[in-house]
């Protein structure tokens, strides 16, 4: 049977790929965190829906794998790209624990927040970039600090996922302090809240202003490099063409 | 008028988003490098098509902008995500040279090669990653070397775009030598040629083997970090959950 791991993109169905829509259509069972399943509720009517709370990712994978082994086509859905900080790796690992199955995993990519946030802000990722999650739930904070420091030293544009949460209210502030050792305070930056969802809001500001900005877990942040500039109110990292 | 900058994704139309398909449908004029326009030739019949050769990117942007100013809805298309090493930034810059126009630019993201290659290989981008182009056409090679070195030191999974061309046949070899200073020779890596196109081919191999691999400009390369492993023949960077 097929076990699709489907990236839903930023939120609105029009930003899903045709392949993602078809995988969901071909599935008997949809597995996902409730908020994600809500994004597609009108196209999953009549299907078996398995939702689990957050932080129950491993359980969710076992449920999806068992449903597929029992003879169902299953779509495990998550927002953005299922392969980028998503569930695709965990599904592959969990499935490998089972023997003698006829389940084939297919990862169907979606638009990740780096792409969708950048498209709202302008074109900041025209050049080499690094993607860093500020969540230290599964990564020691010292590793995150090191990555922020080396990425800014290397001249990458930096895209931050999970920049804040209730427990980590000051993490974006700390992150900006670190990159400011390598970048001017007036480096152009931006963030987008609720991309392609109700209440979408985008802000372009300096690195110094970003340090004190109020963001939440539904925000994606972009920190420019030394060439990033603001053109007609949009954040642009030039690729280097003479125009 | 609307000037859409549309990412077509890796190649097959089913990996385009609904929004990208609609933008093309709503356009009077399609502008792009011939190879990209060919990917969508069946859905652009009857529209005005403006193609230019490679390396004429600035001319192409002026043509697109002029068509939009003259009152047409225009889609400027490129493969992958138009905002990631794509034309979105250049379109915004070129448009800013014109005054008194009523053209609104909308960047419509597509599935970038980091996402599509990873979905074919497994799930190598479950953790922080860096995207680096090995093309030194617009970036000095010393900058690329520095980024390779610092990205591998920081523990990023590294995704390489444009790993080779006729003039740069040994660049992937040089890049592997650099990251090998920070990573074991047996680090799991992978590459995908012609993603979602005729002749798609994917290979999982060690960093040492990658050093001598034959790749071309239609290849995307992924270099794992110290936690990346091979699970059921797939390249997986675990997110850190206990399973």
Burial class (CB in 10 A: 0-12, 13-18, 19+), B42: exposed
Range of the domain at B75: 2-108
Dihedral sign, CA of A16, A22, A25, A30? negative
Region for B134 from its dihedrals, namely left if φ exceeds 0, alpha if ψ lies in -120 to 50, beta otherwise:
alpha
pLDDT at A165 over 90: no
Out of B72, B91, B108, pick the residue that ends a domain: B108
- Give per-10-residue mean pLDDT for chain B (243 aa): 97 95 97 90 94 83 96 96 95 96 97 98 97 93 97 98 89 97 98 94 98 94 97 94 64
Q: Closest Cα to residue A80, out of A102, A59, A107?
A: A107
SS3 content of chain B, % helix, strand, coil (to 5): 35, 25, 40
Interatomic CA distance for residues B156 and A75, integer angstroms: 29
Nearest-Cα residue of chain B relative to residue A137 = B240
B101 and B26 in one domain?
A: yes
Residue A46 forms part of a structural domain: yes
pLDDT of B168 reads 84
Q: Is the pTM of this model over 0.90?
A: yes
The dihedral sign for the CA sequence B77, A122, B16, A112: positive
User: Within this chain, do residues A153 and A138 fall inside the same structural domain, yes or no?
Assistant: yes
Q: How far apart are CA B17 and CA B35, in angstroms?
A: 19
Within this chain, do residues B202 and B121 fall inside the same structural domain, yes or no? yes
Q: Are B117 and B229 part of one and the same domain?
A: yes
Q: At what angle do helices B141-153 and B171-179 cross, to 10 degrees?
A: 40
Looking at chain A, the whole-number percentage of residues with pLDDT higher than 90 is 86
What local confidence, expressed as pLDDT, does residue A146 receive?
98
Quick check: A18 and B16 CB within 8 A?
yes
**Chain A contacts of B241, Cβ < 8 Å?**
57-58, 90, 138
CATH number of B21's domain: 3.40.1010.10
CB within 8 Å: A16 and B18: yes
Residue with tokens 């529209």: B47
Q: Of B88, B108, B128, which residue is a domain's last?
A: B108
Asked whether residue A19 carries a pLDDT value surpassing 90, the answer given is yes
CB atoms within 10 A of CB B146: 15
Give backbone dihedrals phi and psi of B117, rounded to 5 degrees, phi first. Answer: -65, -40
Q: What is the CATH number of the domain that holds B157?
A: 3.30.950.10
Alpha carbon of B139: minimum distance to chain A alpha carbons (Å): 8
The Cα–Cα gap between B130 and B234 comes to 20
Residues of A within 8 A of B146 (CB-CB) are: 154-155
């Amino acid at each position: 049977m097929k076990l699709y791991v489907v990236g839903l993109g930023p939120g609105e169905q029009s930003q899903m790929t045709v392949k993602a829509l078809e995988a969901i259509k071909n599935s008997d069972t949809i597995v996902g965190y409730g908020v994600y399943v809500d994004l597609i509720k009108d196209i999953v009517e009549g299907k078996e829906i398995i939702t689990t709370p957050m932080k129950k990712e491993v359980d969710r994978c076992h449920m999806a794998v068992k449903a597929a082994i029992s003879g169902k086509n299953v779509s495990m859905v998550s927002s953005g790209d299922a392969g980028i900080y998503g569930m695709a790796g965990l599904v592959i690992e969990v499935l490998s624990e089972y023997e003698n199955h006829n389940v084939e995993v297919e990862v169907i990519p979606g638009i990740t927040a780096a792409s969708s946030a950048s498209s709202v802000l302008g074109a900041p990722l025209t050049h080499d970039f690094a993607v860093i999650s500020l969540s230290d739930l599964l990564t020691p904070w010292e590793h995150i600090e090191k990555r922020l420091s080396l990425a800014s030293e290397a001249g990458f544009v930096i895209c931050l996922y999970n920049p804040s949460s209730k427990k980590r209210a000051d993490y974006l502030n700390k992150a900006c302090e670190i990159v400011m050792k390598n970048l001017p305070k007036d480096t152009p930056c931006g963030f987008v809240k609720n991309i392609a969802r109700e209440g979408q809001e985008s802000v372009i500001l300096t690195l110094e202003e970003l340090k004190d900005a109020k963001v939440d877990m539904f925000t994606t942040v972009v920190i420019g490099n030394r060439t990033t500039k603001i053109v007609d109110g949009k954040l642009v990292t030039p690729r280097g063409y003479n125009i």
